[in-house]
Structure 1
Amino acid sequence: MQTSGTFEVTLFEAVDVPLAPPVETALPIGVARMTKTYAGGVTGHSATVFTSAYGGEVGTYVALEAFEGTLDGRSGTFAYVHSASTGGTDRSDTFFRIVAGSGTGDLTGIHGGGSLTVDDDGTHLVDFDYELN
C-alpha cells in the first residue's frame, strides 16, 4: 500500500548531549528533538530524535520518529527511521525504513519504506510504501 501526505515541523529544539569523551570534528555533532504534524493520506503527529553532523550547508542527519495517527484511515502508532546527506544544493544517500514490529492498533504488523522530500516552494512531503501482516 502507498500513501502520501504533507508535514510541518512544529518544534525543533536542540538538546545538550555532550560526547564522552569529547571529540571535535570539522562538522559539529548535535542532537535535537522535533515534533511534526501531518495532513493528507497521513494524519497525526510524531515525536522525533534528530542527530546530525552539520555545518553551513554540508552534513548528514539520522532521525528516529515515533508516529501516532492514521495512514489511509488506519489508526495506530509506529516508528520509522530516515537519513540523508547534503552538499548544499543536493540530497543524497537517503534512507527511509518503517521499524518492523513497532506498529500498534490498526497498524500492527506494519513494515516497509518510504521517502521524505521538500518541494521547491518549501512544502515537506512524506510517502509511505508499506504492508501490514
Structure 2
Amino acid sequence: MTRHATGSFEVTITPEAQAAGEGDAVPTARMGLFKTFSGPLTGTAHGTMLTVGTPAPGKAAAYVAIDQFSGTLEGRAGSFVLLHRGTMSRAGSELSVIIAPDSGTGALAGITGTLAIEVKDGQHRYDLSYSLPTG
C-alpha cells in the first residue's frame, strides 16, 4: 500500500568545487548538501550534488545528487538514500527523486518510493510517496 508523508525541509548548500568550463564547455560544480526535514519525515540528510550549466531562466542546466537521510518516518526510525536527477531548459524543468533500492535500514528496511519537491516563496516542501513491507 502506498502512503504519503508531506512536510517541509530546510537546505544548506555549500560550494565545494567549481570549474568555469574551457572553450565551449559549460560550467560545472560540486556542492555539499545538508537538509533538515520536519513533519512525518523528521531528521537530517547529508549529500553531494553535481551540477552542469547555468541555473537561470532561458539557460540549460542539470544536476544529480545523492542524499543519505537518517531519522524517522511516521515514528519508524532508520535511514535511506535519495537519488536526484534534475534538468532545466527553455522548454521547462524536470525533477525526479527516488528512494534507492534496498537502501533502507532499521524500521525503514525495504522502503521504496519517490519524493516530490516544491519550492514556493523560498520555502521547500516535500511529498514522499512510499511503501514499506508489511509484517
* TM-score normalized with structure 1 length: 0.84
- Cα RMSD for the two superposed structures: 2.2
Q: How far is the alpha carbon of 1:96 from its aligned partner?
A: 1.4
The letter for the 1-side match of 2:43 is G
SS at match of 1:101: coil
Q: How far is the alpha carbon of 1:30 from its aligned partner?
A: 1.1
Deviation larger for 80-89 or 57-66 = 80-89
Q: How far is the alpha carbon of 1:13 from its aligned partner?
A: 1.6
Measure the CA separation in 2 of the matches of 1:90 and 1:118: 15
Q: 1:78 to 1:25 in 2, by over 3 A?
A: farther
Measure the CA separation in 1 of the matches of 2:6 and 2:46: 19
* TM-score normalized with structure 2 length: 0.82
Gaps of 5+ in 2: none
After superposition, the C-alpha distances for 1:4-63 in whole angstroms (9 at most, x for unaligned) are 111101x32222387xxx866542111111101011111110001101113151311111
Aligned residues: 127
Measure the CA separation in 2 of the matches of 1:105 and 1:87: 39
The letter for the 2-side match of 1:64 is I
Measure the CA separation in 2 of the matches of 1:56 and 1:37: 23
Q: 1:67 aligns with which of 42, 66, 69?
A: 69
Q: How far is the alpha carbon of 1:91 from its aligned partner?
A: 2.7
